[in-house]
């Protein structure tokens, strides 16, 4: 089977690649086209992006620092930074996977 | 009603974490009757009308939300004469799985010193694998656009309802939350009621322990996801605590708000 791209997204409160992961998401196209059952995970698969890089994940996006205007300097919204990692894994048939 | 009001420490916990949990809130018999009514109790009543006039009487659900302990909770958070916003009987069927569902209830609300509450009743025992609603404690100051945060599949500090029948959660409407997979062979209900305040939400709780030093520690709670943002979160919590406790100069620890409020006087120049 061909290898296809899986994506791992780390959300952080600083942009550095050695920053702790506080939230995370997996988009594993090798396994399917949707996420029908989100199984709870209490810990991220890696503590930071550099750990993931040592396991073969390639960084395809890292965050820039933000410029903050005085009027919105204290406004809170989404988590501020994210790192996107990529790895190619063998394509699996969706019906072969547990739902 | 005074014996059913929240304490100042409980109120501080609500300000910091955005939710409170109360086991044994609804007695077992009433719980069973509520559960029977739930499949036939979806829909909207008169949105924006006074809760007391709108909420049904002579039904199990009508009675449950009028119990003195529930009324005390409601009064503590939104004050007297709240308005009915909406209700819903959220169902996750036996064996129904759910994908990422994190969202903030609409609509986006940037108002300071204001919050709606949602009361969530779990009418049957809700074990870990039954898919009780999840919450991200402390997320209520982070306004987002409804379901865009579905991109956060997992987040440190996430909790979910695991509780005996009759448990009620109350939460700030802005808390990030969602549904989870139900791996059991029983349908899972979460019955929610949203209420709006009709007056500023100031000192509606029992203030006897307002000066307890533990309140500062409660406001500084770290839920696990805050990281470098923690002090900015704390500033928001202190702002809301100042308002609900009627203490416009309250601050804690390093007094971060003072740093952005301090003005030198002409005499000191």
CB A7 within 8 A of CB A86: yes
Looking at residues A17-39, what average pLDDT do you find?
96
DSSP B198: S
Model confidence over B203-253: pLDDT tens digits? 999 999 999 999 999 999 999 999 999 999 999 999 999 999 999 999 999
Mean pLDDT computed over every residue of chain A: 92
Best probe of the A interface among B154, B230, B260, by most A CBs < 10 A, is B154
The ipTM, to two decimals, is: 0.94
What does the alpha-carbon distance between residue B161 and residue B31 come to, in Å, rounded to a whole number? Answer: 17
pLDDT at A95: 62
DSSP characters over A13-54: SS--TTSPPSEEEEEETTT-SS-S-----SS-SSSSHHHHHH
Q: What percent of chain A has pLDDT over 70?
A: 95
Token reading at A43: 């810990």
Q: DSSP alpha helices (H): ranges in B65-213?
A: 68-78
Looking at residues B57-82, what average pLDDT do you find?
97
Q: What residues have CB less than 8 Å from A45, skipping those under 6 apart?
A: A8, A24, A52
Q: Confidence band (pLDDT; 50, 70, 90) for A76?
A: confident
Whether A96 shows a pLDDT value over 70: the answer reads no
Q: Do residue B100 and residue A74 have CB atoms under 8 angstroms apart? A: no
pTM here is 0.95
Model confidence over B92-135: pLDDT tens digits? 999 999 999 999 998 888 888 999 999 999 999 999 999 999 99
Whether B61 shows a pLDDT value over 90: the answer reads yes
Tokens 């979460």 belong to residue: B190
CB B203 within 8 A of CB B246: yes
Best probe of the A interface among B222, B227, B235, by most A CBs < 10 A, is B227
Q: Do residue B151 and residue A25 have CB atoms under 8 angstroms apart? A: yes
Q: Give residue B184's Cα distance to chain centre.
A: 26
Model confidence over B147-196: pLDDT tens digits? 999 999 999 999 999 999 999 999 999 999 999 999 999 999 999 999 99
Token reading at B205: 């709780």
pLDDT at B91: 94
Gap from B229 CA to chain A (nearest CA, Å): 6
pLDDT at B51: 97
Calculate the alpha carbon distances from A42 to A39, B54, B154, B225 in Å: 10, 42, 8, 12
DSSP B146: G
pLDDT at A75: 78
């Amino acid at each position: 089977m061909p290898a296809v791209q899986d994506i791992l997204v780390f959300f952080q409160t600083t942009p550095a690649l050695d920053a702790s992961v506080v939230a995370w998401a997996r988009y594993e196209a090798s396994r399917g086209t949707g996420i029908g059952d989100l199984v709870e995970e209490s810990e991220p698969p890696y503590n930071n992006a550099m750990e993931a890089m040592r396991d073969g994940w390639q960084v395809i996006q890292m965050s820039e620092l933000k410029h903050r205007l005085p009027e919105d300097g204290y406004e809170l919204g989404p988590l501020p930074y994210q790192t996107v990692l990529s790895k190619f894994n063998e394509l699996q048939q969706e019906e072969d996977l547990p739902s | 009603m005074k014996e059913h009001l929240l304490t100042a420490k409980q109120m501080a916990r609500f300000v910091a974490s955005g939710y409170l949990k109360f086991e044994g809130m609804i007695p077992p018999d009433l719980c069973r009757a509520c559960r029977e009514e739930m499949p036939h109790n979806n829909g909207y009543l008169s949105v924006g009308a006074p809760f007391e006039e709108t909420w049904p009487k002579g039904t199990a659900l009508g009675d449950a939300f009028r119990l003195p302990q529930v009324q005390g909770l409601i009064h503590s958070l939104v004050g007297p004469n709240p308005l009915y916003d909406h209700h819903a009987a959220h169902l996750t069927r036996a064996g129904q799985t759910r994908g990422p569902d994190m969202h903030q209830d609409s609509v986006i609300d940037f108002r300071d010193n204001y919050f709606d509450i949602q009361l969530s009743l779990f009418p049957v025992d809700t074990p870990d694998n039954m898919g009780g609603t999840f919450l991200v404690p402390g997320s209520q100051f982070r306004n987002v656009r409804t379901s865009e945060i579905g991109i956060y599949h997992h987040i440190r500090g996430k909790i979910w309802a695991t509780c005996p029948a009759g448990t009620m959660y109350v939460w700030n409407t802005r808390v990030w939350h969602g549904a989870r997979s139900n791996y059991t062979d029983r349908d899972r209900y979460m019955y929610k009621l949203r209420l709006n305040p009709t007056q500023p939400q100031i000192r509606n709780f029992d203030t006897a322990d307002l000066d307890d030093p533990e309140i500062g520690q409660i406001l500084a709670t770290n839920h696990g996801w805050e990281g470098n943002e923690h002090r900015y979160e704390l500033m928001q919590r202190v702002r809301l605590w100042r308002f609900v406790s009627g203490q416009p100069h309250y601050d804690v620890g390093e007094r971060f708000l003072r740093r952005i409020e301090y003005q030198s006087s002409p005499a000191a120049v």
